[in-house]
Structure 1
Amino acid sequence: MKVQLTESVAAFTTDSPLRHSPCYALRDQSLAVGGYVNQEERDAQLAHTFGSQQWLWSEEDDFRFRNSDHQLESLYLLIPEEPCPAPDACARWVRTTMVVGGLRAERRDNFALETTTGRWFDQEARHMICLRDQAPPPEEGGTRVRIAPDTDLLLAGGKMVGWMLTNPARYLTQGWDRPADTPPVPGTSLLLAAYLAMTSWPALEKILDGDEATCRDLRALEQRILRQPADLSRTAVLGRAVGMLIEDHC
């Protein structure tokens, strides 16, 4: 299957999806899928790969392909804070046809890849979907490519318009740490859903403005996280993220 990453850059699906588990970092609202465990290793990939990458002050997603065989090596995706403008249409992406595979670049080219602009998540945070502006409804040729564990690229008419992470609570991490191997308890997903709701615009604007009622809600969420009896590695990630918001703005 041909996948248009941009108007001029294409790749083809292969039988080899990325084997690395995604890392969902609340610290910088990103999703990383690759073999690196720190910024130095991520930077070292540039020497033997090509594709898209963030430059100084740029807001672009990273797709890195190996020079040797043009196979996809890693992904680094930024998560927007704006909500999806059409929640019902976003939710329908969960039900689109899925194929499993990797990507092989059509030719060796560097390019810029625009980030997604809106996010959607269900009430239990079982799925998080990030889409670009003007993404058509999934019924218009919508397909999901399972590019890595629980990580799908979303295609409309063969063009990439966004991506989806299933069970995002499972992949919570402080930054470069690897996510826990054990599945999350149900309560962690509910806590993540509450955190995402409070950190999506326009709710986030109230936090940044130090709104008293919103700060009370944020402190109440922090107490809910502290009372979670299990899943300590993931609740620590959530607790730190909420604590930093309280410290900086409340």
Structure 2
Amino acid sequence: MSGASTGRGTATTVRLAFDGDWRATVTDSPLHISPRFTGSASVDVARYVDAAERVRFLADTFGSQEWLWDAPDVLRFDKTGRELVGAEFHWPEESASAEEVARLPLTPAVRAGGLRADEVRDFRHERCTVLCRAPGDTVLTCLRDLGVLDEPLDARIGIAPDVALLVQRGAVVGWSLTDPARHLTTTYADPDPDPPSPTTHRLFTECLDLITTPVVDDLVDGEPAALARLQAADKALREQREDRHRADALLELIATYVEDYGKW
């Protein structure tokens, strides 16, 4: 098994392979940065607070990043120590079925760890294509493809609080975010330290339903029931009084769909 050693049935990954035969070594230093689940449908693990700081962050680091219309997942490393210093993960619109989600491996447990690049070299890491939603959306898991479900995982590397990389045969094949509603926020803002309200939890699940398959396909096709759900969610979020910061993040999340389909 490339990049992994096994003892007593538990795989401990030492080196991880990313796309383009690019590799990094697991360290004992995970990032102490709270993830941001933004209205841009991304999970950002970074310290920048505006667009200008993000540009400087990309210029001062190396790794995988976006180029023009190409939008892979972003993992950035310090040029001196080669340590992971930030990441941005996109999550897909394609939702796995309940039967497929039930096949998602629950082991091994998350092992906290950072990453150190084997060399100072840029690479490209393709974004995941399938979203697996745990009951109640308590965990969102994004996979490279459904073939990942055919084999056990080697490891789950917790690179930041509630954010883990999924490893199979020594390669990174996905990532997960635990308690995603807690991490909801608008772009560049830190999440509210207070827990999300029950209303936010309910509307979070509704918004995820609306912008992932199969409901998003119904929106595109102009199905009246789907359009009514979108309009109702938009209205509820605008009228929500508590947990406004997260409500605004959810409004951002569905804004494009409301603009394109919600006013039919």
TM-score, normalised on structure 2? Answer: 0.86
- Unaligned residue ranges in structure 2 (runs of 5+): 1-13
Matched, 1:48 2:50: no
Q: Is the 8 A contact 1:123 1:190 kept in 2?
A: no
Three-state SS of the structure 2 residue aligned to 1:96 is coil
Match of 1:163 among 172, 175, 180: 175
Three-state SS of the structure 2 residue aligned to 1:219 is helix
d(CA) in 2 for partners of 1:97, 1:214: 37
Q: Is the 8 A contact 1:100 1:147 kept in 2?
A: yes
Match of 1:151 among 153, 163, 172: 163
d(CA) in 1 for partners of 2:253, 2:127: 23
TM-score, normalised on structure 1? Answer: 0.90
Match of 1:6 among 10, 13, 19: 19
The Cα offsets for residues 173-197 of structure 1, whole Å up to 9 and x where unpaired, read as 1211211111212332222111111
Deviation at 1:158, TM superposition (A): 1.8
RMSD of aligned C-alpha atoms? 2.0
d(CA) in 2 for partners of 1:63, 1:71: 10
Deviation at 1:171, TM superposition (A): 1.1
d(CA) in 2 for partners of 1:48, 1:237: 29
Match of 1:112 among 121, 124, 137: 124
Deviation at 1:199, TM superposition (A): 1.0
Three-state SS of the structure 1 residue aligned to 2:49 is coil
Matched, 1:88 2:102: yes
* Percent of paired sites with the same residue: 33
Aligned ranges 1:26-105 → 2 under 5 Å: 26=39, 28-84=40-96, 86-90=100-104, 92-93=105-106, 95-105=107-117
Match of 1:17 among 30, 43, 66: 30
Three-state SS of the structure 1 residue aligned to 2:140 is strand
Residue 188 of structure 1 is matched in structure 2 by: 200
What is the identity, as a one-letter code, of the residue corresponding to 2:38? A
d(CA) in 1 for partners of 2:171, 2:213: 27
**Higher mean Cα deviation, 193-202 or 59-68?**
193-202
Deviation at 1:226, TM superposition (A): 5.0
Q: Is the 8 A contact 1:98 1:144 kept in 2?
A: yes
- Unaligned residue ranges in structure 1 (runs of 5+): none
Aligned length: 247
Deviation at 1:82, TM superposition (A): 0.8
**Higher mean Cα deviation, 215-224 or 159-168?**
215-224
d(CA) in 1 for partners of 2:163, 2:150: 17
**Higher mean Cα deviation, 202-211 or 143-152?**
202-211
Deviation at 1:232, TM superposition (A): 2.1
Three-state SS of the structure 1 residue aligned to 2:16 is strand
Deviation at 1:224, TM superposition (A): 4.1
Match of 2:227 among 212, 215, 235: 215
d(CA) in 1 for partners of 2:28, 2:49: 25
d(CA) in 1 for partners of 2:69, 2:258: 26
